[in-house]
Amino acid sequence: MHIDLNEAIRIHARMGRARYGRGAKKRALKTAERLRQAGDQTGAAVWERLAAEIDRTDPKLAKPPKTILPS
């Protein structure tokens, strides 16, 4: 079985949310900043994508679907 980077980010986002709750995004962004300061731009970009995925898949932030009422 092969897991690509996108799938790894989705998996890690779910794990981070389960382990750190609402603090998962903040932790990911701190890691990204540390990597950027150390000169690892690629690693920082991955952790920023992870933070975005945490936001994207957070059920508390998800908007309910629009309902269109018949006219």
Sequential pLDDT tens for the chain (71 residues) = 899 999 999 999 999 999 999 899 999 999 999 999 999 999 999 999 999 999 888 766 555 556 666 65
- Would you state the structure tokens that stand for residue 45, as one six-digit string? 């970009």
Question: CA 31, CA 52: separation in Å to the nearest integer?
Answer: 13
Nearest to 29 by CA among 55, 60, 63: 55
pTM: 0.77
